[in-house]
Amino acid sequence: MSFGSPSNPYGQPQDPQQGYGQPQQPGYPQAPQGVPPQQQGYGYPQQQGYPQPPQGVPPQQGYGYPQQPGYPGYPQQGGYGIQPQYANWGQRFLSKLIDMILYFVAYVPLAAIGAKAGAPIITLVGFLLGIGVLVWQVIQEGRTGQTVGKKALGIRTLKEDTGQPLGGGMAFVRQLAHIIDGLPCYLGYLWPAWDSKRQTFADKVCGSIVIRNP
């Protein structure tokens, strides 16, 4: 019997793909031709990870992260969770009346004393004191949304788009815009009686609303 060619010392049949005299190299089995190799070979640990969401589904916030709170309200209405209640015409009128009474209390007594004593300087002091009260009221309305009269009636003036106080500058502009309310026979002052948002003409120009306190 023949155990192979003398040049093949291992007695194994020669593989046409291997050279003569070269022993076969042991190794892992090769994948058949036409089959794509696996991405990871045998013996390598599989990579662990969290399951991925399906395509087209936005990733959800993971556990351990605090959820972001939202603050509902009318468009940027400063934290109010419901539609604000607009102040009616009677509330607005009474608040304005209280503010005017404060002005007269500061001005009229000194003006009367000055007129009786023939001292114009006292009258001037009373006039300036009354103006100071008006300016202070405007500043307070710009900062807090309330004058003394509005605070007494439980109402306040705010920006319609943000729900925040007007600020001192816009509050002053709003007072000047009241001239528009008085021009057509004071129609602008009466307009809140039937307007859906209870606004005067000045409110519509300045983008302000007067609401009841929540």
In a domain, residue 37? The reply is no
In a domain, residue 185? The reply is yes
Q: What is the pLDDT of residues 145-188, one digit of tens each?
A: 999 999 999 999 999 999 999 999 999 999 999 999 998 889 99
In a domain, residue 40? The reply is no
Q: How many domains are there within the chain? A: 1
- What's this model's pTM, rounded to 2 decimal places? 0.60
In a domain, residue 16? The reply is no
pLDDT at 143: 96
In a domain, residue 72? The reply is no
Rounded to whole angstroms, the Cα distance separating 8 from 127 reads 127
Q: What is the pLDDT of residues 78-132, one digit of tens each?
A: 444 567 899 999 999 999 999 999 999 999 999 899 888 888 999 999 999 999 9
In a domain, residue 28? The reply is no
pLDDT at residue 208 greater than cutoff 60: yes
pLDDT at 57: 53
| Closest to 142 measured CA to CA, from 117, 129, 159 | 159
Domain extent at residue 100: 89-212
In a domain, residue 59? The reply is no
In a domain, residue 192? The reply is yes
